[in-house]
Amino acid sequence: MTQSKRVYIAYTGGTIGMKPSENGFVPEAGYFTEQIKKLPELSYPEMPEVVVHEYENLIDSSNITPDDWYTISEDIKANYNDFDGFIVLHGTDTMAYTASALSFMLEDLSKPVIVTGSQIPWAQMRTDARENLITSILLASRYDIPEVGLYFHNRLYRGNRARKTDATGFHAFQSPNFPALVKVGSQIELNKEIVLQEPSKPLKINRIIQPNVVVLSLFPGFSAKMLKSVINSGIQGLVLMTYGIGNAPSNQPDFLDLLRKADQSGIIIVNCTQCLKGGVDMSSYQTGRELLNAGVISGYDMTPEATLTKLSYLLSSDCTIEVIKQKMQTSLRGELSK
C-alpha cells in the first residue's frame, strides 16, 4: 500500500484568513484553520493529509521581520522529515520578500515550500483563496519541486524571482526575468527543465540577523548629502536602485566619491535596476562604468527583494566581504542569470 502524502501548512496571517472589522481587515485566530480542516476538496483521493499550524500571533505581512522568517524556517525544519511538502500562508504585501528570504535561509532544500495567500479573504464571496490554496496543496504534495516557490493565480514562480506588481488584481505577482516553474490551467504543466536540482546534502537553516542594509532609489535631483547621511548611519550594505541598465549620474563627483569611500570602508554596494524587467550591465554606458570604478557590484537581473534578502543573508554569515561580493554576483538559488 502506498503511503498517503502529507503537507504541512504554516499559517502566518495575511488577507487570506482575515475578517472585516471596524478598523478594516484583520486576522482572526482559529477561523481560517477551521475552514481549511473542513475543506471538502481534502476528501478527494489525490489530496494529501494536511496539517495546519496556525501561528500564535497572526500578522498582516506588513509587520513581518527577519525573526519571523527564522520562526518559519525553524518550523519547516522541525517538521521536515514528516511531510512531503510545505505551504506558508502569508500576506501578499511582503510575500516576495519572505519567499526570497526563505530561499536563502533554507539551504539544500529537497522538498517544495510554497508561499501563497490571496487578494480577497476566504470569508468573502469572490475570494481567490480557494484556488490558490487547493493548487498549492496539490503542488506541494505531488510534484518534485525542491525549492521555495510562490504560487498565485495559476502560476508557480521561483520565490526569489517573484514581485508583487498589482495591489488589487488577482494576477498580483509576476516573475519578470524568469519563466514560471508551473503553469496551471486545465492541465498542471511543470517546467522540469528549469526547476532546481535536488541537493545531496541535508537541509540547513541560515539565520538572517536584523540587517544593516538599506535600499535607496535614485531620482533626478538626488543629492550626495542624502547619500552621505545614509552611508554614515552604520550600514553594512546598500542596494542602489539605478536607472535602466544600471546607470547613475556621472556628473556629480561628490556622489561617486562617497560611493568609492563607502566601498573602501567595507560597505557592500549592489546595483539593482529600477526597471521591472531586465538587469544591470554597468559596462554599457559611461554613467554605469563610473559606478563600476567606484566599487559598486552588479545585481544583474535580481529583483530588489532577492537582492536585499540575499545581501542580508550573506552579511549574517561569517563570509568575508570579498566572498560576499563574489556570492552576490553568483547564482546561489537560481535568483540571477548572467
In the complex, the residues that contact ligand ASP under the rule CB under 6 A are 13-15, 60-62, 91-93, 117, 119
Q: Which of 12, 15, 242, 303 is catalytic?
A: 15
With cell 554596494, the residue in question is 269
Nearest CB to ligand ASP, comparing residues 61 and 160? 61
Tell the smallest beta-carbon distance from residue 104 to ligand ASP (Å).
21
How far from the centroid of its chain's Cα atoms is residue 313's Cα? 12
Tell the smallest beta-carbon distance from residue 154 to ligand ASP (Å).
17
Nearest CB to ligand ASP, comparing residues 122 and 143? 122
Q: Indicate the Cα dihedral angle 291, 296, 301, 302, nearest 10°.
A: -140
Specify the DSSP class assigned to residue 32.
H
- Is 15 annotated as catalytic? yes
Tell the smallest beta-carbon distance from residue 73 to ligand ASP (Å).
19
Specify the DSSP class assigned to residue 336.
-
Tell the smallest beta-carbon distance from residue 99 to ligand ASP (Å).
13
Nearest CB to ligand ASP, comparing residues 62 and 284? 62
Tell the smallest beta-carbon distance from residue 62 to ligand ASP (Å).
6
State the Cα–Cα distance between residues 181 and 321, nearest whole angstrom: 33
Nearest CB to ligand ASP, comparing residues 1 and 167? 167
Nearest CB to ligand ASP, comparing residues 112 and 117? 117
For ligand ASP, the nearest residue by Cβ is 91
Candidates 246, 213, 249; CA nearest to 231 is 213
Task: Please compute, for residue 307, the number of CA atoms within 13 A of its CA located in the half-sphere on the CB side.
Answer: 29
Q: What is the largest CA-CA distance in the chain?
A: 72
| Long-range own/partner contacts, residues 19-27 (CB < 8 A, 24 or more apart) | 19/121, 19/123, 20/123, 25/121, 26/60, 27/58, 27/59, 27/60
Catalytic positions, written as ranges: 15
